């Protein structure tokens, strides 16, 4: 019979993580482990990566829902729906990861592939967090010195003219032929000013911009997607959509150029696969991005990504070095690629598991 337990874990950022939504100094996450009581030494490990303030599952009863899912896993039958409301995306994500890990021998191998065997690499983009102008310039220079050919810049948190100056500085030194620039507005613009801002940004050869306005404004986002001189990528717009019907309606209404897949936020791996299928039907591109998970969640997302046709597009998986107290893992970021070092080992600390 399967058994499960969970625990809360607090991650601390090396430096404040600033978006247009908030300033984060730490992040609460949860780990879940699942084992067969006939062989309790072998267990699958997953991360229920709750994202407070963003996830649709950021609700007062979250931990109780997680505890209930761990209790109900004892009567769960493989092939049946997981014992949790699909709205609780990060719990679905954690359970999927732990069950797949257990099925593969409890070795933190979730989706076996040449990548998890150490034989290939995933191209990733560099991520530059918001800050004052001088700090952002320094971070940009560091990413470029590390060899990144695609950098994602979070905008919307400081004066827009200052952000234009930063982007102009980048383009003066690095033309689009040598550096791809992605922007993430995290919904910082409004339906009234978004196209004005996008017109001013377009002169800098921007690859795409994520979520220019806040989600659930389908008519406005559809108009922006049609008229924008920069390709629109939907990110937060996917959060909280847990049925195929709603997914189809949103994609048909907005028809973005890209969608951003964050499995812990958009329904887990099963739902993320449905997003890919529906996007492909409509000629909508996509890439995968982590959402501030620890290395446990990042490992699962990277292994899943390695099984996809990414068309050599850089993925958003460069978040493994954000925390002072991350879980030590075989994940290795070298320049603009992420690898899995099969010679390294996982070091899981003693954790206060709850039943």
CA atoms within 13 A on the CB side of 161: 0
- φ and ψ at residue 122, rounded to 5 degrees: -110, 125
> What are the C-alpha distances in Å from 191 to residues 74, 211, 216, 256?
48, 11, 12, 16
pLDDT digits (tens, 9 = 90+) for 182-216: 999 999 999 999 999 999 999 999 999 999 999 99
Nearest to 319 by CA among 23, 101, 11, 62: 11
Summarised one tens digit per residue, pLDDT across range 226-281 is: 999 999 999 999 999 999 999 999 999 999 999 999 999 999 999 999 999 999 99
- Identify the pLDDT of residue 166: 87
Structure tokens at 137: 């310039």
Average pLDDT (332-338) is: 94
> Would the pLDDT of 16 be above 80?
yes
* pLDDT for residue 47 is more than 80: yes
Say if residue 18's pLDDT is above 90: no
With 0-12 / 13-18 / 19 or more C-beta atoms within 10 angstroms meaning exposed / middle / buried, residue 285 is middle
129 touches 17 (CB < 8 A): yes
Per-residue pLDDT tens over the stretch 115-132: 999 999 999 999 887 777
**Residue 319: how many other CB atoms lie within 10 Å:** 22
Pure H helices in 176-310:
194-202, 218-227, 244-254, 268-281, 295-305
**Closest to 351 (Cα-Cα) out of 24, 75, 1, 43:** 43
pLDDT at 338: 97
Could you give the CA distance from residue 105 to residue 37 in angstroms, rounded to a whole number? 14
Q: What is the pLDDT of residues 23-46, one digit of tens each?
A: 889 999 999 999 999 999 999 999
Confidence of residue 139 (pLDDT cuts 50, 70, 90): confident
Tokens of 184: 């993430």
| Short-list 113, 83, 118, CA closest to 98 | 83
Domains plus CATH for the chain?
2-103 (3.30.390.10), 122-340 (3.20.20.120)
Closest listed residue to residue 130, CA positions, set 196, 188, 73, 83: 188
Average pLDDT, the chain: 95
Distance CA 157, CA 52 (A): 19
Res 20: pLDDT: 66
Instruction: List the catalytic residues.
Output: 154, 262
pLDDT of residue 4: 98
Task: Report the length, in residues, of the chain.
Answer: 355
Q: Give Cα separations from 105 to 1, 45, 102, 328, 345 (angstroms).
A: 16, 11, 5, 19, 15
- Can you spell out the DSSP letters for 1-25? -EEEEEEEEEEEEEEEEE-SS-EEE
Contacts of 28 by beta carbon, 8 Å cutoff, 6+ apart: 8, 9, 10, 11, 50, 52
Residue 39 has a pLDDT of 96
- Dihedral over Cα of 66, 68, 71, 76: its sign: negative
Please say if the pLDDT value at position 135 is more than 90: no
| Percent with pLDDT over 70 in the chain | 99
Average pLDDT for 51-73: 97
Residue 151 has pLDDT above 80, yes or no: yes
154 bridge partner residues: 184
pLDDT band at 79 (very low <50, low <70, confident <90, very high): confident
End-to-end CA distance of the chain: 15
């Amino acid at each position: 019979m399967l058994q499960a337990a969970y625990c809360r874990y607090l991650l601390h950022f090396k430096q404040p993580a600033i978006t247009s939504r908030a300033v984060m100094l730490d992040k609460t996450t949860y780990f879940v482990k699942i084992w067969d009581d006939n062989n309790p030494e072998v267990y699958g490990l997953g991360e229920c990566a709750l994202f407070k303030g963003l996830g649709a599952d950021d609700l007062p009863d979250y931990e109780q829902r997680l505890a209930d899912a761990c209790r109900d896993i004892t009567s769960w039958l493989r092939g049946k729906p997981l014992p949790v409301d699909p709205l609780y995306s990060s719990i679905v994500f954690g359970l999927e990861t732990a069950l797949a890990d257990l099925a593969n021998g409890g070795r933190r191998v979730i989706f076996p592939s040449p990548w998890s065997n150490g034989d290939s690499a995933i191209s990733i983009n560099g991520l530059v967090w918001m800050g004052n102008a001088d700090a952002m310039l320094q971070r940009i220079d560091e990413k470029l010195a590390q060899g990144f050919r695609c950098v994602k810049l979070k905008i919307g948190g400081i004066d827009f003219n200052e952000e234009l100056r930063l982007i102009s500085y980048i383009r003066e030194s690095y033309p689009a032929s040598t550096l791809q620039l992605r922007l993430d507005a995290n919904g910082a613009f409004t339906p009234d000013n978004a196209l004005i801002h996008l017109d001013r940004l377009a002169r800098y050869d921007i690859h795409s911009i994520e979520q220019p306005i806040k989600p659930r404004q389908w008519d406005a986002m559809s108009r922006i997607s049609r008229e924008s001189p920069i390709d629109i990528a939907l990110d937060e717009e996917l959060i909280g959509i847990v049925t195929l019907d709603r997914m189809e309606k949103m994609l048909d209404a907005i028809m973005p150029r890209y969608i951003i897949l964050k499995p812990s936020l958009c329904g887990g791996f099963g739902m993320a696969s449905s997003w890919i299928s529906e996007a492909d039907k409509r000629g909508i591109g996509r890439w995968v991005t982590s959402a501030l998970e620890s290395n446990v969640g990042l490992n699962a997302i990277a292994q899943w990504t390695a099984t996809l046709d990414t068309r050599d597009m850089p993925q958003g998986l460069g978040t493994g070095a954000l925390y002072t107290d991350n879980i030590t893992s075989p994940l290795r970021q070298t320049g603009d690629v992420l690898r899995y070092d099969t010679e390294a080992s996982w070091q899981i600390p003693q954790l206060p598991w709850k039943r």
